[in-house]
Chain A
Amino acid sequence: MKKYWLLIPIFTLVTAGAALAGKAITIKGSDTMVILNQRWAENYMNNHPGAVVQVTGGGSGVGISALINGTTEICASSRTMKDSEQKKLRERWNILGVGIPVAKDGVTLFLNASNPVSELSLEQLKNIYTRKVKNWRELGGPEAPILLYGRESSSGTYVFFKDTVLLGADFAPETQTMPGTAAIVNAVSKDPNGIGYGGVAYASGVKHLKIRKTAGAAAYDPIQENVKSGVYPLSRDLFFYLRKTPSGDTKKFIDWILSPAGQEIVTKVGYFPVK
């Protein structure tokens, strides 16, 4: 063994070198949260000289994969982690993941401003996105085909919508996959027959639907009061996921996000404070 004791300092040097190589706080994941994350990062770096926060999007699924692979410290996710993802994380890092709600959102249904339909139930939305209902006439609208816009499967909003609205069923193949919520809003704003979904902060230049949980229930707008109380049927938390309980610089950053200063940015971007 004696000649191999040398390996321990060599191993320490290699790992210490690798550890020193990256000191920035990295956030990767949700496209719904990417603007919010950027605003947080900019404000935090402006008010904390020396702090470096790097933000990238790609979708919640991409962020969760990066968290499992160890290529990001913080994963931004607009959905909760799946059992299978938690198991992968556990297998790799001996932990189920630490999830911290950092903001609230109401997944919003976007319609063209000219569309007279103003409220729908979850079941009607399911029928629309599974093509059981194909014409706006069937929903009290004009005689026109319904054109569907949606997100890629790596999107957290896609998974949330599929689980909550479609109850696990597949999206109709006619659904046009868009690279982000901004692209959906842009498409719907130009398409009188279009319908799309996404984070409430993107609802600009289009009209939004009131949503009913069931056919006879009251319909609610995706506004702060309804999302925070949970009566809006598509209310959800936006999360930061980490591989361990935050400490050091990461803890300072997350504490700041949850402080009034950080939560004020949530409101400015268009989402709702978590507290």
Chain B
Amino acid sequence: MKEENGEKGHQPTRAFAERRKKMGFKKIVFALPLAALLSLPVVTRAEEPDPAAQQGKIDSLDDRVLAVESDVSGLKKVKISGYVQARYEASENSKDQYKVDANKSVSSYLNKDYFYIRRGRVKVTWEPTSLTTFLIQIDAAKNTITLKDAEGSINFPIANKYSVGLKMGQFKWPFSYDVNRSSSDREMPERALSTQNLMPGERDRGVQFQATYKGLVDFRTGLFSGSGIQNSTFPVIPPTSKPTWVSRLALDFGWVSLAGSSFVGPAGFTLPADANSTNKILRRDRNRFGADAQFYYELPYLGGGRLMAEMISGKDFSQSLKSGNGGYAKSLGFQATLVQNFLDKEQFAFRYDFWDPDTGVDYNRVVTYGLALIHNFDGSAKLTLAYEIPKNEVKAPAKDPVDNKTTIQFQYKF
């Protein structure tokens, strides 16, 4: 077989010879320089290398490496991070709407068992210098895309101990621990009721000054629109005429952290049109004060744990109070959370969450007990199983509604 192939290689058949003839002169014209090129390396190898040419090549390579290094160092200044929280929620007061009698109102029988994406965050951080940072964060969840953070900040370290900085844009209010803690770190599925009601959206547009001392003292104060990011329109009261000041002073001793926060500013209400078809603006005071503490400890064999406690009080004007004449409601919220590590990557959490939307009114308080089991697969993936028991204060003969909720959440962080 081998010999046969060899013969065919050296003695082409007639048909093959005819095809080769048809290739014509043009192919030979291309073939000649190709053969010359192929023979070149053989000639070069035989020659002595030219040191100047070699040095030139090294210099050129050096320049290219420097250019690549410069590009890579530029790219290292941009960081993309984020997380996704995929959830299944099941409530005891959920009903299968499909099975509801057609004669009954569907609105009172809602399905509350579902899969959904609670948070889909993407954050891009750019640090062009060691002093400046630009950040933008969006949330793509529940079929909508919203801008969460968009800020530019400048920070000046002083003698390796102090730092002062300025931030402007849209970012979290410097108020309370619960507001400023990332949802990706929190053990319970949602923030406490007081935070959800008094600081909705957790963010606002404004400018903030920050000063720190050795990681021990952190003071932040800022001037904000006051309306929060859930209010897409501009506030009716300009921040310069009656500003909303939000401040937080935190002391961190390592095993214990303590902080106090304040939020003081007006809220504007558009009144119905008067006889001259003019909508006047009613300006009323609004404030929140808060205090929080975190205590960290370690138990033998189990590992680290923490006890967090936070209290927030609020004062808001409502036009519907006092038979429609308007009045102030004072609200109060308190939460305490115990988190304990166990095994290597497991955590257990218990939260007590008290919320009274109007301390002057009875039968409106809610206490929610929350339990959570967390398993951290690695640095990126986390599985949470949470069970929440809300206890609503009701006047007899009414009963506390059956509305306990189970949440299974898988979180992936990148």
Interface residues in chain A, defined as those with a beta carbon under 8 Å from any beta carbon in chain B: 1, 4, 7-8, 11, 14-15, 18-19, 66, 68-71, 73, 83-84, 86-87, 90-96, 98, 163, 167-168, 170, 243-245, 247
Contacts and interface: CB of A to CB of B under 8 A. Distances in A.
Measured as residues with beta carbon below 8 angstroms from the partner, the interface class of chain B is 35 or more
A86 B90 CA distance: 37
B379 A247 contact: no
Interface stretch (B31-39, B265-273, B370-378): B370-378
Contact of B304 (A14, A69, A87, A243): A243
Contact of B375 (A18, A91, A243, A247): A18
B303 interface: yes
A94 B377 CA distance: 17
Nearest to A16: B343
A11 B344 contact: no
Interface string B313-348: 000000000000000000000000001110111110
A8 B385 CA distance: 8
Which 6 interchain pairs have the tightest Cβ spacing? A69-B379, A95-B304, A244-B303, A83-B215, A94-B304, A15-B375
Contacts of B90: 4
Contacts, number: 93
The majority secondary structure among interface residues of chain A is: helix
Given A11-B373, A19-B345, A94-B306, A1 B387 contact: yes
Given A70-B379, A95-B296, A1 B385 contact: no
A69 B215 contact: no
A14 B157 CA distance: 46
Contacts of B306: 90, 94
A62 B385 CA distance: 31
Contacts of A245: 298, 300, 303
B143 interface: no
B362 interface: no
A4 B406 contact: yes
Contacts of B49: none
15 contacts: A1-B404, A1-B406, A4-B90, A11-B383, A66-B379, A70-B379, A92-B185, A93-B304, A94-B303, A94-B306, A96-B296, A163-B160, A243-B303, A244-B303, A247-B301
Nearest to B159: A168
Given A93-B341, A95-B296, 13 more contacts: A14-B375, A15-B346, A18-B345, A18-B377, A69-B378, A70-B345, A87-B215, A87-B252, A95-B303, A95-B341, A168-B157, A244-B303, A244-B341
B92 interface: yes
A168 B304 contact: no
B408 interface: yes
A92 B376 CA distance: 10
A67 to B, nearest CB: 10
Contacts of A170: 130
B82 interface: no
Nearest to B402: A1
B305 interface: yes
Contact of A70 (B185, B215, B376, B387): B376
B16 interface: no
B254 interface: yes
B98 interface: no
B379 A71 contact: yes
B387 A96 contact: no
B380 interface: yes
